[in-house]
Amino acid sequence: MSTLAATHSRFTTGINHGKLGMWVFLASEIMFFSGFFGAFIVLRNLNLDVFTAGAHQLDKVVATINTAVLITSSLTMALSHLALERGHQEKFRLFLFITILCAFGFLGIKSYEYAAKFSHDIYPWTNTFFATYFTMTGFHALHVIGGLIPMIWMLGKSMVKGYPVEMHHRVEALGLYWHFVDLVWIFLFPTLYLIF
């Protein structure tokens, strides 16, 4: 085994591989969302009136509350990893549970916003502004759902037999993803709601 390792040129990165993989994925995610922001700017400059009118139709108060909900979930996610790393199983479970609640809260508020738009006969095909609005927020919401699934799985596992402390890197990698979802919203919020 040692001879095999010696013949292969392996360089250690000094970084947990799961975490490194998550960072590579997040770098690709920045590029994925950059495409949407680029499209938004070009379409906005071509249809300035439609975009200004559209931004006025969005509910700023509800979106601000949703921003606070997502920021809170980022805090509790960071705290839940910290708690697990230090071996506090109870706190880990509690903070992870609050993170899951906030994620559901965010999706609930987002659904309310979508429903309010549909009830006013505003759909993705209404105009260019709402096409970009629903595409960007929709893909963001999918990312929230994508984060919720492993979170619920981790909480379930920790409730059945306790989450192993030596596997805290997995929670950290999930946390990195979750903070990234928060980061995307930090840019989406002023872009869609506050520029008019």
Instruction: Report the interface residues with other proteins, using CB under 8 A.
Output: 13-15, 20, 23-24, 26-27, 30-31, 34, 37-38, 41-42, 45, 60, 64, 67-68, 71-72, 74-75, 77-79, 82-83, 85-86, 88, 172, 175-176, 179-180, 182-183, 186-187, 189-191, 194-195
Tell me how far, at minimum, the Cβ of 70 lies from other proteins, in Å.
10
Nearer to other proteins, 48 or 115 (CB): 48
State the Cα torsion 33-37-42-48 to the nearest 10°.
140
Report the C-alpha gap between 106 and 172 in whole angstroms. Answer: 21
Q: Which is nearer to other proteins, 126 or 183 (CB)?
A: 183
Which C-beta is closer to other proteins: that of 23 or that of 126?
23
**In the complex, least distance from residue 121 CB atom to other proteins, rounded to whole angstroms:** 27
Task: Give the other-Cβ count within 10 Å of 81's Cβ.
Answer: 23
Q: Where are the alpha helices (DSSP H) in 58-127?
A: 60-85, 89-119
Element (H, E) at 161: helix 128-161
Q: What's the min distance (Å) between Cβ of 79 and other proteins? A: 6
Mark residue 163 as left, alpha or beta (left: phi above 0; alpha: psi -120 to 50; beta: remaining).
Answer: beta
Which CB sits closer to other proteins, 115 or 195? 195
